[in-house]
Amino acid sequence: MPKALLLKRRDIDTPEKRRKHTVGILGHGRTALTQAFLFANAGFKVIYADADHDIANQIEKGRVSSTGQRVTALLNKQITDGHLTAERSIRKAASESDIIILSVPATIDKRKKPDYSHIQKACNEAGFGLRPGSLFISTSTTGPGVTESLIKETLENASGLKAGKDFGLAYSSMLGRILHDTTANERVVGAIDERSLKAACLVLDTVAKGKIVKVRDIKTAETAKLLEKIYRDVNIALANELASFCEKAGIDLIEAQNAINTNPHSHLSFPQLIGEHAMMEPHLLNDEAETLNTKLHILNLGVRINQRMVSHVVRLVKDALGACGKTLRRANISVFGVSRRPNTRESEGSLVKNLVDMLKRSGGRVWVYDSIFSHKELVEMGYPARKTLARTVERSDCLVIAVGHDRYRRLNLRKINLLMKKPAAIVDVGRVIDPDKAEREGFVYRGVGRGVQLE
Domain boundary among 154, 188, 215: 215
**Does residue 381 share a domain with residue 271?**
no
- pLDDT given at position 348: 78
Number of other residues whose CB lies within 10 A of the CB of residue 320: 27
Domain boundary among 215, 234, 251: 215
* Domain-embedded: residue 275: yes
- pLDDT given at position 178: 46
SS (HEC) of the chain: CCCHHHCCHHHCCCHHHHCCCEEEEEECHHHHHHHHHHHHHHCCEEEEECCCHHHHHHHHHCCCCCCCHHHHHHHHHHHHCCCEEEECCHHHHHHCCCEEEEECCCEECCCCCEECHHHHHHHHHHHHHCCCCCEEEECCCCCCCCHHHHHHHHHHHHHCCCECCCEEEEEECCCCCCHHHHHHCCEEEEECCHHHHHHHHHHHHCCCCCCEEECCCHHHHHHHHHHHHHHHHHHHHHHHHHHHHHHHHCCEHHHHHHHHCCCCCCCCCCCCCCCCCCCHHHHHHHHHHHHCCCCCHHHHHHHHHHHCHHHHHHHHHHHHHHHCCCCCCCCEEEEECCCCCCCCCCCCCCCHHHHHHHHHHCCCEEEEECCCCCHHHHHHCCCCECCCHHHHHCCCCEEEECCCCHHHHHCCHHHHHHHCCCCCEEEECCCCCCHHHHHHCCCEEEECCECCCCC
Domain containing 343: what range?
308-447
Residue 134's nearest CA partner among 50, 196, 201, 205 is 196
Q: Give the CATH number, domain containing residue 185.
A: 3.40.50.720
* Domain-embedded: residue 271: yes
**Structural domain count, the chain:** 3
Number of other residues whose CB lies within 10 A of the CB of residue 16: 8
Cα distance between residue 328 and residue 318, in whole Å: 6
**Does residue 232 share a domain with residue 126?**
no
Considering all CA atoms of the chain, what is the largest pairwise distance in Å, rounded to the nearest integer? 75
**Pair 136, 100: CB distance under 8 Å:** yes
**Does residue 178 share a domain with residue 93?**
yes
Indicate the pairing of strand 444-447 with strand 425-428: parallel
- pLDDT given at position 452: 73
Cα distance between residue 112 and residue 289, in whole Å: 13
Tens digits of per-residue pLDDT, 32-62? 888 888 899 899 999 999 866 667 667 766 5
Cα distance between residue 397 and residue 420, in whole Å: 6
* Domain-embedded: residue 221: no
* Domain-embedded: residue 386: yes
* Domain-embedded: residue 455: no
Tens digits of per-residue pLDDT, 244-275? 999 999 999 999 999 998 888 888 899 999 87
Cα distance between residue 188 and residue 217, in whole Å: 10
Phi first, then psi: what are they for 341, rounded to 5°? -140, 155
List, in order, residues 6 or more apart from 256 with CB less than 8 Å away. Answer: 246
**Does residue 333 share a domain with residue 241?**
no
**Does residue 348 share a domain with residue 203?**
no
* Domain-embedded: residue 220: no
- pLDDT given at position 79: 76
- pLDDT given at position 157: 98
Which residues in the chain land under pLDDT 50?
67, 175-181, 455
Q: Give the CATH number, domain containing residue 280.
A: 1.10.1040.10
- pLDDT given at position 54: 67
- pLDDT given at position 74: 67
Q: Model's pTM, two decimal places? A: 0.86
